[in-house]
Amino acid sequence: MMINMKKIIILIVVLIAIVFVAIRLKGNRDRIVSQNQNLNVDFVTVSIANVEKKASSFILNFTGTLYPYKELDIPAEIPGKITSLNYELGQYFPKGGVIATIDDKIKKLTYESAKIDADRLKKDFERTGNLYKGETSSEQEYELARSSYETAKNKSDEAEKQLSYTKITAPIAGTITKKIVEVGKYVKEGDPVASIVDVSRLKVKVNVSESDVYYLHTGDRAKITTDIYPGITFEGKINFVSPRGDDTHNYPVEIEIINSTKNPLKAGTFVNVEVGIGSSRMALYIPREALQGSIKDAKVYVASNGKALLKDIVIGRGGNESLEVLSGLTENDKVVVSGQVNLTNNSQIKIIKNN
């Protein structure tokens, strides 16, 4: 009898424990359900910003190569044998400096003979002119003397010019970069003797895409930098924008810069070009954080009548903070800039902040 009572008591304790656990579990369940119900609201909280129309301004960046402002092969003006070379590679020559000479013996004799004839005929012409004024010489004799002198003078001038061509001079100020002939070599008219470059100014040549080239104009300012001189900026100016592109729709553009004596640049150096574009053209802009997807497949959520509508847009230029919108939005549309992670198309929204 005592054993049965013990079993009954144990059974009652177990039942009480089960009931207590069940009550506890139900309370936990009710609390969790209540919390889930509180979380399961009908809307997503978001922040929005207005689509703004403002003047378009941005920066274009290019990579280019430096070229000499002028680069020439210096030719011989007359045929003959080179008798002297007055330059070394890397030597600077002023414009008009004599870099080489051609054998001038025949040219000198020709000039001296022509000058003697011209001087003699000049005196004859002056004497005939005095006689003609005194009416002791005919007009025909006067005109013949004048014509003879002018012909001799022209021959003397031409002979003097040919003699001057025996001195080969630098057509521009610059540095000799190539030695083409040696003393004793016979050159023909037009044969190059040396190459000279002017790097006091330089040209940056870049190829610009069709989408960018319409923003560039002759006279626009540019900033030039290079890894050769970190932290140094050179000022440049666009002096040529090609009116015609190549088969890949790229357009040659040239930018002129003044070379620095403190930080001299060399032709052939790669440089970075930055052109700031301040345009009077008005464009639509959105904050960058509103963008969904990539630039090429751009989308945004637009707040409209308490819903978030997913729209496709076309992005133009952009900076770190804002993006130009070419199509898909209108001014004062309201785009979602935070909370998008919880959105799907047509989601109900509650706006907590309008930036």
For the segment 161-176, what is each residue's pLDDT rounded down to a tens digit?
999 999 999 999 999 9
pLDDT bin (cut points 50, 70, 90) of residue 10 is low
List b or e across 133-160, with b for residues whose CB sees 16 or more CB atoms inside 10 angstroms: eeeebeeeebeebbebbeebbebbeebe
In a domain, residue 171? The reply is no
Pairing of strands 44-50, 347-354: parallel
Residue 1 has pLDDT above 90, yes or no: no
Q: Range of 342's domain?
A: 45-56+282-354
d(CA 58, CA 281): 12
Q: Exposed/middle/buried for 239, CB within 10 Å: 0-12, 13-18, 19+?
A: middle
Assess whether 297 and 241 both reside in one domain: no
177-217 residue pLDDT tens: 999 999 999 999 999 999 999 999 999 999 999 878 888 99
CATH of the domain at 332: 2.40.420.20
Task: Mean pLDDT check: name the lowest of 171-180, 237-246, 316-325.
Answer: 316-325
Task: From 277, 308, 334, give the residue that closes a domain.
Answer: 277
Q: How many domains is the chain built from? A: 3
In a domain, residue 84? The reply is no
The per-residue pLDDT for 33 is 44
The per-residue pLDDT for 322 is 86
Structure tokens at 168: 């080969």
The per-residue pLDDT for 280 is 63
In a domain, residue 110? The reply is yes
Residue 38 has pLDDT above 50, yes or no: no
**pTM, full prediction:** 0.59
In a domain, residue 28? The reply is no
120-152 residue pLDDT tens: 999 999 999 898 888 888 889 889 999 999 999
Average pLDDT, the chain: 88
Asked if 100 contacts 85 with a C-beta cutoff of 8 angstroms, the reply is yes
Percentage of the residues of the chain whose pLDDT score is greater than 70:
87
The per-residue pLDDT for 39 is 45
70-125 residue pLDDT tens: 999 999 999 999 999 999 999 999 999 999 999 999 999 999 999 999 999 999 99
Assess whether 289 and 304 both reside in one domain: yes
In a domain, residue 20? The reply is no
Phi, psi of 243 (to 5 degrees): -80, 0
